[in-house]
Amino acid sequence: MLSDHEFIRYSRSLMLGEDGEQRQLALRQSRVLVIGLGGLGAQLTTSLVASGVGQLWLFDPDRVELSNLPRQPLYQSADIGRYKTDVALKRLAAMNPAPALHGFRQAPTDTQLLELLPTLDLVLDCSDNTSTRLQLNRLCRQQHKPLMSAAVSGQQAQLYLVSQQGPCYQCLFGGPLTAEASGNEAGTNTDNNTKTNIGTNIGANTGNAASRKGSQHDHPRSSGALPNCAPALQNCRTLGVDPALVLLAAQQLAWLALQYLQGQQVPWDHYGFYRHDASLLGFRLYPLAAEPACACCAASSATSPPAALADLFTGT
Ligand SMILES: [Zn+2]
């Protein structure tokens, strides 16, 4: 049961229903992996730790840069040059000392993920490159772990909610990526990859090591399954990024994660899309489309969830 301290700390959340204590206990017992501590990940982890999620594993190889500060308020001017993981662990622990926090100054390796995934309840992808997204998708699929992913660029934001039964993240790229290609930058970002739609989706990315940062926030194809979807997003280094939209997307992802960890319904196998538009005040959802030739999940026969879910977030 919750301690007196926890009853006071989480009192406003506990008021939300008769099952408040059970939901809070579920959060306390939860084990969550977050990849990326940039604008999305920094905000996301802040919400998860403040809400009382029990254990978090955090991966990010980057150091704090001056240009991060407008949209990553977890970091301060004096933190420039320090590893984001180090700063995040310190700030998050000061905010709520109860959660167990595990930080890694690196991108996760397959070996680390294969060891960690069986112990986790949820994986949250806030990474800035396609290879990491596909790596997480592939291994989460193998290990039967739910995956939520978010990306923001310019004035557009996207969410992906990937379960084990429906289409996977790799399906969004529309072609039969090989298992080898899905795990490396060249295979995911080259314009010359004629086997996939990725070259047309990521535009100017070249796929070499120097362009790794340039590949961040890349996005999948528009398709019949994603009506009104904007053309493929480029990346925040060429298009900029709206700081307020980063916070909005991070909080949307945090809400979905917390809902799931508390045993509430989540619209798995949907794609959430937000763009700056006076007629659209929230994330609009579309069913993810299965790619029959997907090398990752083609064996599973995916079906689209009910269309009624498509407007779940509209107007929020
Ligand atoms: Zn797939």
Query: So what's the pLDDT on residue 231?
Result: 35
| 141 alpha carbon – ligand 1 mean position (Å) | 9
Structure tokens given for 50: 């403040």
Q: Give φ, ψ of 148 to 5 degrees.
A: -120, 135
| 299 alpha carbon – ligand 1 mean position (Å) | 9
Give the whole-angstrom CA distance, residue 280 versus residue 33: 31
| 117 alpha carbon – ligand 1 mean position (Å) | 19
257: part of which helix (H) or strand (E)? helix 243-261
Give the whole-angstrom CA distance, residue 207 versus residue 185: 6
Superfamily of domain 4-312: NAD(P)-binding Rossmann-like Domain (3.40.50.720)
| 169 alpha carbon – ligand 1 mean position (Å) | 6
Q: What is the dihedral of CA 86, 92, 96, 100, to 10 degrees?
A: -50
| 138 alpha carbon – ligand 1 mean position (Å) | 9
Give CA separation, 70 vs 29, 31, 191, 265, 276, in Å.
33, 29, 32, 33, 19
Q: Are strands 31-35 and 122-125 parallel, antiparallel or unpaired?
A: parallel
| 70 alpha carbon – ligand 1 mean position (Å) | 35
**CB of 258 closer than 8 Å to CB of 27:** yes
| 296 alpha carbon – ligand 1 mean position (Å) | 5
| 13 alpha carbon – ligand 1 mean position (Å) | 36
Structure tokens given for 192: 């010359």
| 166 alpha carbon – ligand 1 mean position (Å) | 8
| 288 alpha carbon – ligand 1 mean position (Å) | 10
Query: So what's the pLDDT on residue 59?
Result: 98
pLDDT in tens, the chain (316 residues): 999 999 999 999 999 989 999 999 999 999 999 999 999 999 999 999 999 999 999 999 999 999 999 999 999 999 999 999 999 999 999 999 999 999 999 999 999 999 999 999 999 999 988 899 999 999 999 999 999 999 998 888 999 999 988 899 888 876 545 443 333 322 222 222 222 322 222 222 223 322 333 333 334 443 334 433 333 344 556 678 889 999 999 999 999 999 999 999 999 999 888 877 767 778 888 898 888 888 888 865 444 433 333 333 333 2
| 279 alpha carbon – ligand 1 mean position (Å) | 32
| 41 alpha carbon – ligand 1 mean position (Å) | 24
Give the whole-angstrom CA distance, residue 130 versus residue 218: 7
| 303 alpha carbon – ligand 1 mean position (Å) | 12
| 289 alpha carbon – ligand 1 mean position (Å) | 9
| 69 alpha carbon – ligand 1 mean position (Å) | 35
DSSP string, 162-225: E-SSS--GGGGG-S---TTGGGSHHHHH-TT-TTSSHHHHHTT---SGGGTGGGTT------TT
Cα separation of the two ends of the chain? 33
| 267 alpha carbon – ligand 1 mean position (Å) | 17
| 245 alpha carbon – ligand 1 mean position (Å) | 28
Give the whole-angstrom CA distance, residue 125 versus residue 142: 16
Q: What is the dihedral of CA 108, 85, 104, 179, to 10 degrees?
A: 0
Query: So what's the pLDDT on residue 291?
Result: 87
Query: So what's the pLDDT on residue 235?
Result: 57
Radius of gyration of the chain (CA): 19
Query: So what's the pLDDT on residue 227?
Result: 37
| 136 alpha carbon – ligand 1 mean position (Å) | 12
